């Protein structure tokens, strides 16, 4: 069965540094992958989508890479700020209507 | 700009009681979803509705039923609640199109004693 792994340990970084979060998957070749942000007590909010034929996608301070050979996506936040502190989830499409979510990585940016 | 609205936000039930969680979206989306989120487990799909009039099982459907009442509303019913169903439940909707993102509500926190 398909499996997604995100680092379950919290990631603490200093303000201004680049945060890098990892999403690894097995037993599947998704056509695209999505990243979401979730704040405590709230639902996930969509951030970025990257397709299998795209190596990299950027949006403001966010960058996502997609390596279909390694079966891995990296999510980068440059010039991180305390407001970036949240849990970040990756999600793979699993057919037209279904998705598989990772467990998420909690990021804390220290001032 | 309500987006996806879930009611109630919190609920405590006793084992064996029944409960319906309500979800409504105002974005004219075709597809709607119910997930549960448990610590260390991530979001797991319970049921989804690809379009009005259709529903399909997800990864963890046992103990739940759903109704796609109309295009806006998708409800989740627990007929006989069990402690294992204590969780945070999220509803989401999505427009048609293969790579469209999902829009989530803020969840219902359900405790079953």
Looking at residue A27, what is its pLDDT? 83
The per-residue pLDDT for range B61-108, each reduced to its tens digit, is 999 999 998 999 999 999 999 999 999 999 999 998 778 899 999 999
Q: Which of A97, A103, A104 to mutate to test the interface with B (most CBs of B within 10 A)?
A: A97
Looking at residue A65, what is its pLDDT? 96
The beta-carbon neighbor of B50 closest among A97, A101, A102 is A97
Q: Do A43 and B99 touch (CB under 8 A)?
A: no
Looking at residue B1, what is its pLDDT? 65
Q: Which of B102, B103, B105, B106 to mutate to test the interface with A (most CBs of A within 10 A)?
A: B102
- Best CA proximity match to B91, nearest among B71, B77, B110, B75: B75
Q: Kindly state whether B61 is in contact with chain A, defined as any CB-CB distance less than 8 angstroms.
A: no
The per-residue pLDDT for range B2-61, each reduced to its tens digit, is 799 999 999 999 999 999 999 999 999 999 999 999 988 889 999 999 999 999 999 999
Taking residues A45-69, report their average pLDDT.
94
Looking at residue A98, what is its pLDDT? 83
% of chain A exceeding 90 in pLDDT: 75
Q: Kindly state whether B66 is in contact with chain A, defined as any CB-CB distance less than 8 angstroms.
A: no
Q: Do B48 and A97 touch (CB under 8 A)?
A: yes
Q: Do A98 and B58 touch (CB under 8 A)?
A: yes
Q: Do A42 and B107 touch (CB under 8 A)?
A: yes
Give residue A95's pLDDT band: very low, low, confident or very high (50, 70, 90): confident
- Within 8 A of B56 by CB-CB distance, chain A residues are 97
- Best CA proximity match to A49, nearest among B59, B39, B97: B97
Instruction: Report the range of poorest mean pLDDT among A17-26, A95-104, B39-48, B62-71.
Output: A95-104
Q: Do A43 and B106 touch (CB under 8 A)?
A: yes
Q: Do A89 and B40 touch (CB under 8 A)?
A: no
Angstrom distances, CA of residue A62 to CA of A18, A26, B65, B99 = 10, 25, 39, 19
Other beta carbons less than 10 A from residue B42's beta carbon: 20
Give DSSP secondary structure letters for chain B. Answer: ---EEEE-SEEEE-TT--EEEEEEESS--SEEEEEEEETTTEEEEEEEESSTT--EE-S--TTEEEEE-SSSBEEEEESS--GGG-EEEEEEEE-SSTTPPPEE---EEEEE-
Looking at residue B44, what is its pLDDT? 94
């Amino acid at each position: 069965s398909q499996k997604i792994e995100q680092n379950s340990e919290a990631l603490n970084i200093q303000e201004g540094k680049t945060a890098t979060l990892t999403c690894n998957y097995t037993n599947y070749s998704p056509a695209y992958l999505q990243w979401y942000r979730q704040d405590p007590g709230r639902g996930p909010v969509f951030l970025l989508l990257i397709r299998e034929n795209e190596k990299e996608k950027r949006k403001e301070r966010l960058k996502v890479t997609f390596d279909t050979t390694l079966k891995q996506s990296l999510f980068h936040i440059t010039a991180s700020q305390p407001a970036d502190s949240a849990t970040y989830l990756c999600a793979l499409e699993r057919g037209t209507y279904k998705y598989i979510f990772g467990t998420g990585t909690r990021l804390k940016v220290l001032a | 700009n309500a987006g996806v609205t879930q009611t109630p936000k919190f609920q405590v039930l006793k084992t064996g009681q029944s409960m319906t969680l309500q979800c409504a979206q105002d974005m004219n989306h075709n597809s709607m979803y119910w997930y549960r989120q448990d610590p260390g487990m991530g979001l797991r799909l319970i049921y989804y509705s690809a379009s009005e009039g259709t529903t399909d099982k997800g990864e963890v459907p046992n103990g739940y039923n759903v109704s796609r009442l109309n295009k806006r509303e998708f409800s989740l019913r627990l007929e006989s609640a069990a402690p294992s169903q204590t969780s945070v439940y999220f509803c989401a909707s999505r427009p048609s199109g293969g790579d469209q993102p999902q829009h989530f509500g803020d969840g219902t926190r359900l405790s079953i004693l």
